[in-house]
Amino acid sequence: MGRGGSTALVGAVVLLLLAAGMGCTPGTPGPDSPTTSTTSTTSTTSTSSGATTTTVVGSEGLVIGAVAPVPGSPGGAYLYYPSETPSSRLIVFVHGGQGSLGSIWELPWWTQGLTGEGWHVASVDYRRMTATPAAASDIADSIRHVSETLGIDGQDIVLFGHSLGAHPASLVAYGANSGRAFGTEVGAYVALAPVHQLWGLANASYFHGEVVIRDVLRCNPGVFNTSGYPDCPAGWFLDAEPLYLIDSGDPPTFVGVFDSDFVVPPSVGGLPMISELTAAAATVSSLVVPGTHHDADGQDAAQATMRSAILDWIADT
């Protein structure tokens, strides 16, 4: 595939640094500490040192501003922020990051800024370095737990997947209509700079191939086998690739792409995703913005354009 020499080495190093810098260690608090709300109650427990620890619990029974596990789910966890105004709407954000990295605290504008737009927001975590579709199952468990606790119907939920997190999020969004156990109902789906084709991503470079084999599939999809994992079983991609789940009955989807994104090549991410949704007569909107960005959390003009388009689409869907 033309991968070799100094170009591949430099590219792998750059991508590794980018992926490692995309978030904190999973479960590690970011710059924002747990918050309170006027509708919350608190429980205080004394410690042997005389200090106290306070857990902030919303009136809905969800922990606010601190990572909490999903009951009965092996890998489900959530970081919850309530809407600043009365709301019956929920956005579920699925973070990206190299498969073994990534953090529930990533992209704080999306996880907290949307509360001012009238949305409850849950940033959810999932198992990494486990075979697909384990991560999708964790995400679905988290969606069901938070939405049922809030009393929010599936049609009032927007699922939002970023980067590698968009891959299991796609399985959740499109799996429900296909009767898959890892699917659950959502009203709309946003995929920002998404990973979409695992086999294509594994072909993109040695670095991407290692991520796909080691952290997502736990098997070799027939590209190369430097990790020592066995070849993927026949038919594995029926459960691993969103392509095989997409149909006209899937929720409306917005796909956001930066055309020179060098973390996830658009040729194996957002662009084929747009084409496959269109070919299946699914409801899809998209925006391709010039630039090398991989997210829309900053104040750069290209990021602001993408963020505005996503917000407008969510409001109108």
pLDDT reported for residue 161: 97
Q: How many CB atoms lie within 10 A of CB 247?
A: 13
* Banded model confidence at residue 46, pLDDT cuts 50, 70, 90: very low
Q: In what order do the strands lie in the sheet with 120-125?
A: 68-69, 77-81, 120-125, 90-94, 157-162, 188-192, 253-258, 284-289
pLDDT reported for residue 58: 56
Both tokens assigned to 195: 């990973």
Say how far apart CA 101 and CA 106 lie, in whole Å. 11
Phi-psi region of 159 (alpha: psi -120 to 50; beta: other; left: phi over 0): beta
pLDDT reported for residue 18: 35
Residues 6+ apart with CB under 8 A from 6: none
Place of tokens 């019956």: 88
pTM score, whole prediction? 0.83
Both tokens assigned to 99: 């498969």
Q: What is the mean pLDDT of residues 266-270?
A: 96
* Banded model confidence at residue 224, pLDDT cuts 50, 70, 90: confident
Provide the domain count of the chain.
1
For residue 39, is pLDDT > 80? no
pLDDT reported for residue 1: 36
- Residue 31 sits in which domain range? 5-316
Q: How many CB atoms lie within 10 A of CB 109?
A: 14
**What CATH number has the domain bearing residue 145?**
3.40.50.1820
pLDDT reported for residue 52: 34
Range name among 9-18, 102-111, 167-176, 305-314 with the lowest pLDDT average = 9-18
Is 221:178 a contact under the CB 8 Å cutoff?
Answer: no
